[in-house]
Amino acid sequence: MAHGLNSVIKRGIASANNCKSEGKGIGSRRIFAPHFKLQVLDSYRNDADCKGNQRATARKYGIHRRQIQKWLQAENTLRSSDSACKGNQRAVATKYNVHRRQVQKWLKQAEELRLRNETMKQMHAVR
């Protein structure tokens, strides 16, 4: 076996066992809402206890320092995420902390109201 490979395999197995005990599968990833990312970036820029310090900010929020680096690179996109939600049911659901099906229900209700409104306008125009 190659030098050090055995210890890497052992560590991989141990970490996989730890993940399973926490209810996470191998290769599971956490997904962070845009508002959380912006909260972390604002904290990185403004909080006295971690201002300008990626490691301290990462410790404060329980994330990896590299996440902060990536979010800093994508900050302009994150700040305009409201426009990114347009047409994206999953993004809207995440933003409002509801299930995607709830967003579908809202969209269906909005479409029904729009159609009803158009019908009322046409009826008034005929009179």
Tens of pLDDT, residue by residue over 42-55, are 999 999 998 999 99
Does the pLDDT of residue 127 top 90, yes or no? no
Q: Which residue has the higher pLDDT, 103 or 27?
A: 103
Percent of the chain surpassing pLDDT 90: 30
Structure tokens at 123: 């009826």
What pLDDT band is residue 84 in, cutting at 50, 70 and 90?
A: low
What average pLDDT does this structure show over 83-89?
68
Structure tokens at 93: 């659901």
Question: From residue 47, how far is each of 39, 53, 103, 122 by CA, in Å?
Answer: 11, 10, 34, 56
Q: Which residues of 67-94 are buried (b: 16+ CB within 10 A; e: fewer)?
A: bbeebeeeeeebeebeeebeeeeebbbb
The per-residue pLDDT for 81 is 65
What average pLDDT does this structure show over 62-69?
95
SS3 at position 78: helix
What average pLDDT does this structure show over 11-39?
61
For 93-126, write each residue's pLDDT tens digit: 887 888 888 888 988 898 899 899 989 888 888 7
What pLDDT band is residue 7 in, cutting at 50, 70 and 90?
A: very low
